[in-house]
Amino acid sequence: MLENLTITQTHDGLVKKEFSCLELAKAFLDKIEKLDKKIFAFLTLTPDLALSQSKAVDDLISQGREIPILAGIPLAVKDIIMVDGVRCTAASKVLENYIAPYDATVIKKLKSQGAVFLGKTNLDEFAMGASTENSAFGITRNPHDLSRVPGGSSGGSAAAVAAGFSVYALGSDTGGSIRQPASFCGIVGLKPTYGAVSRYGLIAMASSLDQIGPITRTAADARIVFEAISGKDEKDSTSVESKIKDLGFKIKDLRIGVPEEYFIKGMDPDVEKSVKNAIKKLEDAGAKIVDVSLPNNTENALAAYYIIMPSEVSANLARYDGMKYGYSAVGNQQSAISNLSDVYLQSRGQGFGKEVRRRIMLGTYVLSAGYYEAYYLQAQKVRTKIIDDFSKAFQAADVIVTPTAPTPAFKLGEKSKKSLDMYLADIFVTAVNLAGLPALSLPCGKTANGLPIGLQFIGKQFEERKILELGEFFEKL
Ligand code: GLN
């Protein structure tokens, strides 16, 4: 099965001429064509782009040239990252017909390696959600169980990798959107340190939290993709070059912190068992397990996140005004348009989905005079406390381990009626974004009814390589 290989295995197969890039791309496109009707991972396919990129790499191989590790390897891209000339919707009616006018920096970097772009994947509208049920174009289903959600907001990307529709994918993570769907779909997801990867060409949700990262089958694959897309970019002033390269990983020297706050009442017993079992395995392999405390992490982080994130959302999404680009309302007899204000109100009212409107209203409210101090300022103080808690914990531990989510993938429709229930799905993932840290989610077992469970490794800033090496080590165990 060509479609279930890792990046390294696919690269080897290409170099040894066991199959050509063109064959590979066609195998994936055929599979998507046949099976994506049930899953709906993709919003847009780019077969012309994929085939021309494959041909170019096949030419290099037939000339006997050495190829970069990602050359000829098919990937899927979350439809909130721009690929020049390809529709980019952010799963919103507002951008339904928007054609990206340039490549995001991550795309440019992957193109320079000869990567093969299969298409753009479904997501919660503007990346707001934890189930991919908030897309304006339809829901994505979990390949492990079609009656369940794939997680979100990068649910299309995670489902694409889990279903064998692409070797790897790109997602974005503002409050868990790479890690939580990776955990629900039984694959690997890396949220890099804030600033490690350029955000240029990523449609903004909450700019102080957003990061692009890889969704892959293995930790080794995540490392390859991370290395290809990271680094300073002059087009994103918050991006930096990490000076930390390899840290000389030795399991016996590693102190792994376990925060008690992450084993909460009401979490799924299979998840708890599986994560504790994983920690035991690491201990048996020689790691030192230490108790750490992150007192502001779980509930306070979630509360702060749901103040700070909507505040930034309300500012970032002000640009969709029905004038500059995107959906513009045309008046009719029921709702006539007679002035500029009508254009704004109707375009935004009709273009944005419910969850997006809810967050814009919430953000506008908490930023308004009189409420700013009570909510936004307070949330920023909590954010500082969370950063402090992590700094303290990282004095005692090199890496922190937690579950990625309190439950496995839930049923479609189970949480979409009550936003608070849905927000609680993010309880273990948002603190990492507020503190700007890197974190990796990888599979650590299954529930009694066969649903994947995810384990999260949180690292110090710019220590992606340490959590990735630990991930590779854990996979071998
Ligand atoms: N589930 C979170 C939210 O709804 C995560 C979003 C994200 O990381 N893009 O905000």
The C-alpha atoms of residue 416 and residue 124 are separated, in whole angstroms, by: 12
CA of 296 to the centre of ligand 1 (A): 19
177 as an active site residue: the answer is yes
What are phi and psi for residue 255, nearest 5 degrees? -105, 120
User: What would the two tokens of residue 155 be?
Assistant: 């649910």
Q: Residue 402 CA to chain centroid, in angstroms?
A: 18
Residue 215 has pLDDT above 80, yes or no: yes
Residue 426 has pLDDT above 80, yes or no: yes
CA of 178 to the centre of ligand 1 (A): 9
In this structure, of 121-135, 360-374, 409-423, the range with the lowest mean pLDDT score is 409-423
Residue tagged active-site, from 54, 92, 172, 177: 177
153 as an active site residue: the answer is yes
Residue (of 97, 112, 89) closest to 43 by Cα position: 89
Among 79, 124, 211, 430, residue to substitute to test ligand 1 (most atoms within 8 Å of Cβ): 124
The C-alpha atoms of residue 410 and residue 66 are separated, in whole angstroms, by: 45
Residue tagged active-site, from 54, 131, 153, 157: 153
Q: What is the mean pLDDT of residues 148-177?
A: 98
Residue (of 65, 75, 76, 58) closest to 14 by Cα position: 58
Percent above pLDDT 90 for the chain: 91
Q: Which strand (E) or helix (H) includes residue 118? A: strand 116-121
For residue range 60-116, what is the model confidence (pLDDT) as tens digits? 999 999 999 999 999 999 999 999 999 999 999 999 999 999 999 999 999 999 999
Residue 246 has pLDDT above 80, yes or no: no
Other beta carbons less than 10 A from residue 421's beta carbon: 13
157 as an active site residue: the answer is no
Fill in the amino acid letter for 174: T
Q: What is the mean pLDDT of residues 419-444?
A: 94
CA of 210 to the centre of ligand 1 (A): 10
- Under a CB-based contact definition with an 8 Å cutoff, are residues 312 and 207 in contact? yes
Quote the mean pLDDT of the chain: 96
- Under a CB-based contact definition with an 8 Å cutoff, are residues 317 and 284 in contact? no
CA of 294 to the centre of ligand 1 (A): 21
Ligand 1 pocket member 125 (CB < 6 A): no
Residue 351 has pLDDT above 90, yes or no: yes
241 Cβ partners below 8 Å, 6+ apart?
231, 232
Q: What is the mean pLDDT of residues 428-432?
A: 97
| 128 CA: nearest ligand 1 atom | 4
What is the residue with the minimal CA distance to atom 10 of ligand 1? 128
Residue 336 has pLDDT above 90, yes or no: no
244 Cβ partners below 8 Å, 6+ apart?
462, 463, 465
pLDDT at residue 106, rounded to an integer: 98
